[in-house]
């Protein structure tokens, strides 16, 4: 889940398995006989919620990567592409020099 807020919801006999959430909150929700397995749902994500007969197994903890909404994967790849493009003229010039003056001289 990414930036999901559940409000006034009822979760009955549900299983949440292998879920990673980022800015996901449950506000004023009720959980009945619900199992949480291998999730990162911690207590602070349940705001004014009621958990009745719920079990938590293998809770994930630790640092999770969070980017701002305007810093998407597109920009990561675009900046990487620009960096690769910046090296291209140097590669072309070194290849031409290597053919012109020789490989051994270039290594020296």
The whole-number average pLDDT for the span 96-107 is 85
Task: Report the percent of the chain where pLDDT is more than 70.
Answer: 90
Task: Characterize 38-53 residue by residue with b for buried, 16 or more Cβ atoms within 10 angstroms of its Cβ, and e for exposed.
Answer: ebbbeeebbeebebee
**Domain boundaries defined on the chain:** 3-55
The answer, yes or no, to whether residue 80 has pLDDT greater than 80, is yes
What's the pTM value of the predicted model, to 2 decimals?
A: 0.56
Contact 51, 31 (CB under 8 A): yes
Instruction: Classify 3-55 by CATH class.
Output: mainly beta
């Amino acid at each position: 889940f990414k930036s999901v807020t559940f409000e006034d919801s009822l979760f009955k006999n549900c299983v949440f398995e292998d879920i990673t959430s980022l800015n996901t909150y449950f506000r004023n929700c009720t959980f009945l006989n619900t199992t949480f397995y291998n999730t990162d749902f911690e207590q602070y994500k349940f705001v004014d919620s009621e958990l009745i007969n719920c079990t938590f197994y293998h809770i994930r903890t630790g640092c999770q990567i969070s980017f701002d909404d305007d810093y998407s994967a597109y920009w990561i790849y675009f900046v990487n592409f620009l960096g690769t493009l910046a090296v291209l003229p140097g590669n072309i010039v070194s290849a031409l020099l290597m053919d012109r003056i020789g490989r051994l001289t270039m290594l020296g």
